[in-house]
Amino acid sequence: MQLFVLGPAFGVPSIDAGCNAAIALLQLRRSGEDWQLTPTADDQLQLPLLVDGDARFAGIANICRHLDDGSKALDAKQRADLTAISSFLESNAQTLLDISLYVSYENYSATRSAFTKFLPWYANYMLPPKRRAAARARTEHLGISSIDVDNVHEDMSNRPAGYEGMGKEQQGFEVEAQKRASLLLPRKDTLRSLLQRPERVATFRLHALAENFFAPLQDMLGAKKYLVGSEMTNVDCLAYGYLSLMLYPEVPQDWLASTMRRKYKKLVAYTERIRTELRLQTRVDDVLSFSSCETEADIIGRRKAFDMVLPWSPPAASTLLDVARTITWELMSHVPMLRTSAIIVTLKSSEPTFWQRYLPTLLGVTATSVGVSLYYAFRSGTLIWPHGEAVHIFGRKRFSDYGHLGAALAGISMLSQQATGDSAYHEEVSATLLNVDVTVEGDTAP
Amino acid sequence: MLNDDPPPARNSSDQRLDASSRAQKPTTDKPSRSFFTIPPPVKRIFDKFPLVTYAENELPSRAPKERGKHVLHIFTSEEDARKGRPSFNPACVKWQAYMKFNGIDVSVVPSSNHASPSGALPFLLPAVAASAKDPVPSNKLRKWVLSQKGAEKAQESEDIRYEAYASLLDTRIRKAWLFQLYLNPANNALLQRLYIAPCSSNPFVRMTIAYQLRQAAETELVKSSASDRLVEDDIMRDAEGAFEALATLLGEDEWFFGQEQPGLFDASVFAYTHLLLDDGMPWQENKLAEMARRHGSLVRHQERIAMLYF
């Protein structure tokens, strides 16, 4: 059995919450058995990915289902709680992690350097920005983009006028007037104005978000040892996956961890307890040193030497072809027309209708046949390419239009131009004029 | 404006004097010929205007007639709105039901997202007589309902698991709903009928709207699943688990969390179960209903609300 995960960071087995939960789950259900833990950077796999013989299980929910989920010991009510709490964790905790690790610019720099440690060089340019973009998309509706207040490069510059969001600024005339007035009267900060600053408003909203997650979770944990029942269950592993990534990373703005440590001590104790029971402590450098291992014996020896509990193995080797494929795929996803939309895997492959199936072919055939027939028509002379006079000057009257006097004038102008044809402008015009004048004379001669 | 402009010939001290004197007795200002008074012939002409004053136009026939009532704007058809039947959009049904639970009398109007100040339906226009006249967007509706005087206030459950079970509806069942309605090609005809046909009769506009709707649903699903592979099997299995958990939570009780009165949670559950189980929606493929039907308590819950309140 082999489990593919994103690499370790912050002293936690994986930087991804789902992978973390999967590791905890395998440690709970298959502790001491023969399974391998392989860090990988391939984003095309649906991580965490469990390969058991020929079967592949992608995603934490499928892995839970595949492993014995231990729910037989639980009654129906507890099973329902288990489902509800998992869903609660997945929806709320992910938002908090997104904000804490990716959206906040300062923290993202810490996350990014954690990624750099285990990713191969090319993936560094692809994976972290991609995850950040996804995190921002997920948290956009919360309007906390101005948590990046210190980040001049990203957010403030291209913010549209009248931007409605966090730390909404008063626009327009009043602000201007206030600014000028404040030059005359140095303004003292009132409590209200202090609280209305964008970064404070962001802080309030973040705390509200954190409370909305931690408070119900702590209530559900109560005085019990685990979330559901008296034994450790899948949902505890899932909770660990998220809580550990909130608690352990050392990031510049650690509002999430500090809120947890200050107000939700029970949850901190709970996270610590699962970590010790499943022995999930991870030293990142030890895991990374496996990449130099060659033989099986070497790997086992190294595990012993580092006193490792988790069955880490060397990172999945990627061939040059894989690298090329990944890079091409990534580049393609940034080209507007080539970007592929989401892949939808349905149960029964629905039969595409006649038009859906043949429309591209029909369009192609029509376009080609029209092109070929046009070419042939011109080539064979059936159609003639519309060409007008070789030189055609619009809006100019010919001298011949003025009758005899015009003809006389044409003669004079020709003479005078020949005499004074030295300026650049006249030279230019005369070239065309001469051409036309010849025809003028021809017209008037008969 | 004319009065404030001083005649150009005077000096500044005169001006000030003049201004103050005029301020004291503006009406007794000399009627005699100043440069700025309107000449009588011109004045006579202008006094004739307006020549004709037309009678006021009637209000358009679509204009709201009873503004003494609160108006809830939702996705629905004209006919359903007249009969007070539930909408075909889960968010709208939820609030419709919640208003009925609380005994608030609202009239229902078919509307579209473009009409809403927040860009999403439902929203509520309070009656003219009400103190607050601003439209209430859907995220403030609950507060508004609780602030109403005549409302029989249904207490919301204090159960510690409330949030967890609410997340089942907001994520798992909603995702499955989005998938089934928008991304399942079998239900294309239904999608056309509900959301696309009322917007336009032009086939190109319809195609564009259909494309946009599908894209929006897809983005929503991709965003929450954090990968760009949407596996129908997984989404449906999650929903199945969610229905099972909800049925277990309800048990043999009448309302969720053993309440005396139905509350917001009941409204949220009803919003989905009603639209899935009711015959009014011509689903072509409705896996979610099969899942819900397996749990008799959920079906009974839906029937109870439909019977008592709609």
Give the mean model confidence (pLDDT) for residues A411-437: 58
Interface of A with B (CB under 8 A): 46, 59, 61-62, 65, 76-77, 79-81, 83-85, 87-88, 90-92, 94, 134, 137-138, 212, 216, 219-220, 222, 341-347, 350
Residue B106: what are its φ and ψ, rounded to 5°? Answer: -125, 150
List the single range of A165-174, A338-347, A401-410 with lowest mean pLDDT.
A165-174
Do A342 and B163 make contact, defined as CB atoms within 8 angstroms? Answer: no
pLDDT at position A174? 63
Closest chain A residue to B186, measured at CA? A350
Determine the 3-state secondary structure of A386 from DSSP. coil
Say yes or no to pLDDT of B59 above 80. Answer: yes
**Residue B238 contacts by C-beta under 8 Å, 6 or more apart in sequence?**
A61, A87, B172, B175, B176
Say yes or no to pLDDT of B16 above 80. Answer: no
**CA-to-CA dists, residue A2 to A45, A51, A67, A118, A257, angstroms:** 14, 5, 13, 19, 32
Please compute, for residue A217, the number of CA atoms within 13 A of its CA located in the half-sphere on the CB side: 31
Whether B75 and B86 have beta carbons less than 8 Å apart is answered as no
A49-52 vs A55-58, strand pairing mode: antiparallel
Do A61 and B238 make contact, defined as CB atoms within 8 angstroms? Answer: yes
CATH label of the domain that carries residue B111: 3.40.30
What residues in A contact B163, CB-CB < 8 Å? 88, 212, 216
Say yes or no to pLDDT of B134 above 90. Answer: no
Closest chain A residue to B217, measured at CA? A342
Q: What is the pLDDT of residues B286-305, one digit of tens each?
A: 889 998 999 999 999 999 99
Say yes or no to pLDDT of B256 above 70. Answer: yes
What residues in A contact B170, CB-CB < 8 Å? 91
| Structural domain range at position B122 | 70-147
N-to-C CA span, chain B:
62
**Residue whose tokens read 């992910």:** A94
Task: Please tell me the distance from the alpha carbon of residue A235 to that of residue A86, in angstroms, as a whole number.
Answer: 6
DSSP-assigned beta bridge partners for residue B14: none
Q: Is residue B171 located within the same domain as residue B233?
A: yes
Say yes or no to pLDDT of A168 above 50. Answer: no
pLDDT at position A440? 46
Q: Considering CB atoms only, which of A76, A80, A87 is closest to B167?
A: A87
A425-437 exposure pattern, b = at least 16 Cβ within 10 A, e = fewer: eeeeebeebeeeb
**Residue B247 contacts by C-beta under 8 Å, 6 or more apart in sequence?**
B295, B297, B298
Say yes or no to pLDDT of B70 above 80. Answer: yes
Q: Which two tokens stand for residue A250?
A: 């050392």
Q: Is residue B253 part of a domain?
A: yes
Do A88 and B244 make contact, defined as CB atoms within 8 angstroms? Answer: no
What residues in A contact B238, CB-CB < 8 Å? 61, 87
Q: Considering CB atoms only, which of B168, B184, B185 is closest to A83?
A: B168
Closest chain B residue to A76, measured at CA? B248
Do B233 and A347 make contact, defined as CB atoms within 8 angstroms? Answer: yes
pLDDT band at B25; cut points 50, 70, 90:
very low
- As its CATH architecture, domain A2-152+197-305 has Up-down Bundle (1.20)
- A319 class by beta-carbon count within 10 Å (0-12 exposed, 13-18 middle, 19+ buried): exposed
Closest of A260, A263, A282, A262 to residue A271, by C-alpha: A260
Q: Is residue B76 located within the same domain as residue B193?
A: no
Please state at what angle helix A198-221 crosses helix A255-263, rounded to 10 degrees. Answer: 40
Residue A247 per-residue DSSP state: H
Q: Is residue B139 located within the same domain as residue B170?
A: no
What residues in B contact A216, CB-CB < 8 Å? 160-164
How many whole angstroms from its chain centre is CA A296?
38
B70-74 vs B106-110, strand pairing mode: parallel
Say yes or no to pLDDT of B195 above 80. Answer: yes
Q: Is residue B88 located within the same domain as residue B203?
A: no
Q: How far apart are the CA of B82 and the nearest CA of chain A, in angstroms?
A: 34
Do B224 and A88 make contact, defined as CB atoms within 8 angstroms? Answer: no
B229-231 vs B123-125, strand pairing mode: unpaired
Give the mean model confidence (pLDDT) for residues A140-163: 52
Task: Please tell me the distance from the alpha carbon of residue B214 to that of residue B183, in angstroms, as a whole number.
Answer: 6
pLDDT at position A177? 66
Q: Is residue B265 part of a domain?
A: yes
Say yes or no to pLDDT of B144 above 80. Answer: yes
Q: Is residue B138 located within the same domain as residue B168?
A: no
Give the mean model confidence (pLDDT) for residues A26-45: 80
B186 touches A at CB < 8 Å: yes
Closest of A281, A284, A242 to residue A7, by C-alpha: A284
Q: How far apart are the CA of B220 and the nearest CA of chain A, in angstroms?
A: 9
pLDDT at position B15? 47
Do A83 and B241 make contact, defined as CB atoms within 8 angstroms? Answer: yes
Whether A20 and A241 have beta carbons less than 8 Å apart is answered as yes
List the single range of A126-130, A194-198, A349-353, B154-158 with lowest mean pLDDT.
A349-353
Please compute, for residue A435, the number of CA atoms within 13 A of its CA located in the half-sphere on the CB side: 11
Task: Please tell me the distance from the alpha carbon of residue B75 to that of residue B138, in angstroms, as a whole number.
Answer: 13
pLDDT band at B83; cut points 50, 70, 90:
confident
H or E, element range at A429: helix A424-444
Q: What is the pLDDT of residues B220-241, one digit of tens each?
A: 888 887 677 788 888 898 999 9
Give the mean model confidence (pLDDT) for residues A234-258: 89
What residues in B contact A344, CB-CB < 8 Å? 183, 218, 230, 232
A94-103 exposure pattern, b = at least 16 Cβ within 10 A, e = fewer: bbbbbbbbbb
| B183 vs A164, higher pLDDT | B183
H or E, element range at A274: helix A265-278
pLDDT at position B158? 77
CATH label of the domain that carries residue B251: 1.20.1050.10
Tally the domains of chain B: 2
Percent of chain B with pLDDT over 90: 22
pLDDT at position B301? 92
Do B230 and A343 make contact, defined as CB atoms within 8 angstroms? Answer: yes
**Residue whose tokens read 């008296």:** A230
Q: Is residue B185 located within the same domain as residue B142?
A: no
Q: How far apart are the CA of B118 and the nearest CA of chain A, in angstroms?
A: 12
What residues in B contact A346, CB-CB < 8 Å? 184, 232
Q: Is residue B182 part of a domain?
A: yes
Q: Where are the alpha helices (DSSP H) in chain B?
A: 12-24, 40-47, 78-83, 90-101, 141-147, 162-167, 174-178, 188-191, 203-225, 232-250, 264-277, 287-293, 296-309
Residue A173 sits at the vertex; the CA angle it makes with A167 and A174, to the nearest 5 degrees, is: 60
B64 cis-preceded (ω within 30 degrees of 0): no
Q: Is residue B190 located within the same domain as residue B296?
A: yes
Do A80 and B245 make contact, defined as CB atoms within 8 angstroms? Answer: yes
Q: Is residue B172 located within the same domain as residue B136?
A: no
Domain limits of chain A?
A: 2-152+197-305, 156-192, 320-380, 399-427
Q: Is residue B42 part of a domain?
A: no
Say yes or no to pLDDT of B128 above 90. Answer: no
Q: Is residue B213 part of a domain?
A: yes
Do B242 and A87 make contact, defined as CB atoms within 8 angstroms? Answer: yes
Do A343 and B186 make contact, defined as CB atoms within 8 angstroms? Answer: no
Give the mean model confidence (pLDDT) for residues A291-311: 78
Q: Is residue B85 located within the same domain as residue B218?
A: no
pLDDT at position B150? 63
Q: Is residue B183 located within the same domain as residue B300?
A: yes
- A55 class by beta-carbon count within 10 Å (0-12 exposed, 13-18 middle, 19+ buried): exposed
Q: How far apart are the CA of B165 and the nearest CA of chain A, in angstroms?
A: 5
What residues in A contact B269, CB-CB < 8 Å? none
Say yes or no to pLDDT of B252 above 80. Answer: yes
Determine the 3-state secondary structure of B123 from DSSP. strand
Instruction: Give the mean pLDDT of chain A.
Output: 77
A287-308 exposure pattern, b = at least 16 Cβ within 10 A, e = fewer: bbebeebeeeeebeebbeeeeb
Say yes or no to pLDDT of A439 above 50. Answer: no
H or E, element range at A27: helix A17-29
B241 touches A at CB < 8 Å: yes
Length of chain A: 446
Q: Is residue B62 part of a domain?
A: no
Indicate which of A66, A88, A329 best probes the interface with B, i.e. most B CBs within 10 Å of its own CB. Answer: A88
Q: Which of B113, B147, B181 is the last residue of a domain?
A: B147
Closest of A81, A79, A13 to residue A47, by C-alpha: A13
Determine the 3-state secondary structure of B124 from DSSP. strand
pLDDT at position A233? 86
Q: Is residue B249 part of a domain?
A: yes
Task: Please tell me the distance from the alpha carbon of residue A286 to that of residue A130, in angstroms, as a whole number.
Answer: 27
Give the mean model confidence (pLDDT) for residues B123-151: 80
What residues in B contact A83, CB-CB < 8 Å? 168, 241-242, 244-245
Instruction: Give the mean pLDDT of chain B.
Output: 82
SS (H, E, C) A334-385: HCCCCCCCCEEECCCCCCCCHHHHHHHHHHHHHHHHHHHHHHHHHHHCCCCC
pLDDT at position A180? 65
Please compute, for residue B17, the number of CA atoms within 13 A of its CA located in the half-sphere on the CB side: 5
Q: Is residue B143 located within the same domain as residue B173?
A: no
Q: Is residue B12 part of a domain?
A: no
Do A344 and B165 make contact, defined as CB atoms within 8 angstroms? Answer: no
Closest of B192, B62, B70 to residue B124, by C-alpha: B70
Q: Which two tokens stand for residue A291?
A: 């990449």
ipTM (interface predicted TM): 0.76
What residues in A contact B233, CB-CB < 8 Å? 345, 347
Q: Is residue B103 located within the same domain as residue B189?
A: no
pLDDT band at B8; cut points 50, 70, 90:
very low
